[in-house]
């Protein structure tokens, strides 16, 4: 892609052109070598225009109502004058690599809201349920003027560390009335969470939601908060009716105010940038593992020897490293 094309993309993105933003994200997600180089330059050029948005990661088990919650929360925010970008990661099939990409149908109001941008992306097997290029996509959206970025994770049991490493606020959604509430808590997720929100606090579900919230609060008492400035609250709300959503967002703003005041937010962003560096480096190494011609020729023999028990995995790794010159 010519440098003039990159300059034009840069300008149109900063002008808030939605079609150009979508096109640029497609460029970012491309695996073609020339596209990767163009994408790297585009991100670098836009970097000075990023970093001002509130970044919120949202996770929860399937059925908890993530898409409905985001639709309601996003509509509330656009009604307050915010520009909201939703990066919704769909689970990719481990067999075919296919993905449903149906989030726009589950976010009916945001999908047609001129102040919102919904981008479903396949996770493509990425650890943590976050699409491989979510970080870059987030920066593009910020450069386009979106001041709230909501990242919806797959929430099917993978490590959720990835979304915590790219967001300012990590929100864990929970469901009431699903048996033993505490069995629904993944300790690792709760340790990362900046807030637990119990959905479906409406109609006959209000009492169950409040009961579940009380149990989650009790469980959180045995965990040490990861910030000395913030104790994760537990709230109830209804993604369907919108009750409690304004209070939920108020907690996000309070968290940002406190961490910005102590300098923790700036420090968090710096750490995330370094983690991004290492993540990209690991991706580059794995790409070479998959594409190196000499290794691909020798790998079947190495794998067969390991499977037969004639070569230890330790020595096999040494052989692979030797082939790659590592």
CB atoms within 10 A of CB 60: 23
Whether residue 4 is found in the same domain as residue 150: no
Task: Using alpha carbons, list the distances in angstroms from residue 274 to 29, 131, 170, 268.
Answer: 21, 18, 19, 10
CATH number at residue 4: 1.20.5.170
Q: Residue 304's domain spans which residues?
A: 276-324
CATH number at residue 120: 3.40.50.300
CB atoms within 10 A of CB 13: 24
Whether residue 203 is found in the same domain as residue 256: yes
pLDDT recorded at residue 129: 41
Whether residue 11 is found in the same domain as residue 60: no
pLDDT recorded at residue 153: 81
pLDDT tens digits for 110-163? 989 999 999 876 555 454 445 568 889 999 999 999 999 999 886 655 547 778
Q: Considering the domain boundaries, does residue 284 fall inside one?
A: yes
153 within 8 A of 130, measured Cβ to Cβ: yes
276 within 8 A of 135, measured Cβ to Cβ: yes
Q: Considering the domain boundaries, does residue 271 fall inside one?
A: no
Task: Say yes or no to pLDDT of 316 above 90.
Answer: yes
Whether residue 116 is found in the same domain as residue 186: yes
Whether residue 34 is found in the same domain as residue 80: no
Whether residue 73 is found in the same domain as residue 183: yes
Positive or negative: CA dihedral 5, 25, 166, 260: positive
Last residue of a domain, one of 13, 32, 48: 48
Whether residue 224 is found in the same domain as residue 289: no
**Which residues have C-beta within 8 Å of that of residue 138, sequence separation ≥ 6?**
53, 55, 85, 87, 149, 151, 166
Whether residue 190 is found in the same domain as residue 299: no
Q: Considering the domain boundaries, does residue 267 fall inside one?
A: no
* β-strand partners of 117: 85
pLDDT recorded at residue 122: 58
Whether residue 138 is found in the same domain as residue 73: yes
Whether residue 44 is found in the same domain as residue 107: no
Whether residue 289 is found in the same domain as residue 142: no
Tokens 């990362």 identify what position? 192
Whether residue 86 is found in the same domain as residue 143: yes
Domain count, the chain: 3
pLDDT recorded at residue 162: 78
Positive or negative: CA dihedral 320, 159, 101, 99: positive
Q: Which of 115-129, 131-145, 177-191, 303-317 is least confident?
A: 177-191
Q: Considering the domain boundaries, does residue 320 fall inside one?
A: yes
% residues pLDDT > 70 (the chain): 84
The arithmetic mean of pLDDT across residues 61-71, rounded, is 87
pLDDT tens digits for 262-291? 999 999 999 999 988 888 888 778 878 888
3 state DSSP class of 90: strand
């Amino acid at each position: 892609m010519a440098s003039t094309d990159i300059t034009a993309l840069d300008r149109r993105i900063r002008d808030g052109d939605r079609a150009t933003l979508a096109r640029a994200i497609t460029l970012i997600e491309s695996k073609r070598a020339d596209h990767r180089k163009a994408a790297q330059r585009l991100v670098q050029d836009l970097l000075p225009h990023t970093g001002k948005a509130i970044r919120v990661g949202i996770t929860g088990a399937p059925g908890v109502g993530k898409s409905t919650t985001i639709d309601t929360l996003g509509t509330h925010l656009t009604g307050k004058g915010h520009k909201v970008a939703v990066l919704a990661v769909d689970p990719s099939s481990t067999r075919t690599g296919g993905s449903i990409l149906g989030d726009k149908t589950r976010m009916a109001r945001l999908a047609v809201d001129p102040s919102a941008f919904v981008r479903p992306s396949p996770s493509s097997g990425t650890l943590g349920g976050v699409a491989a290029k979510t970080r870059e996509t987030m920066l593009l959206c910020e450069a386009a003027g979106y001041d709230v970025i909501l990242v919806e994770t797959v929430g099917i049991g993978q490590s959720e560390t990835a979304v915590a490493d790219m967001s300012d606020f990590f929100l864990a959604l929970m469901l009431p009335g699903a048996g033993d509430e505490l069995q629904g808590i993944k300790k690792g997720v709760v340790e990362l969470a900046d807030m637990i929100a119990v959905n479906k606090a409406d109609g006959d579900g209000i009492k169950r939601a409040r009961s579940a919230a009380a149990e989650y609060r009790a469980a959180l008492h045995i965990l040490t908060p990861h910030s000395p400035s913030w104790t994760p609250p537990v709230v109830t709300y209804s993604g369907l009716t919108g009750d409690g959503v304004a209070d939920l967002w108020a907690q996000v703003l309070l968290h940002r105010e406190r961490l910005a005041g102590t300098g923790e937010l700036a420090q968090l962003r710096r750490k995330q940038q370094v983690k991004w560096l290492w993540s990209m480096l690991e991706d580059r190494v794995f790409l070479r593992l998959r594409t190196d011609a000499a290794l691909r020729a020798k790998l079947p023999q190495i794998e067969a020897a390991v499977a037969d028990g004639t070569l230890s995995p330790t020595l096999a790794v040494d052989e692979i490293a030797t082939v790659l010159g590592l």
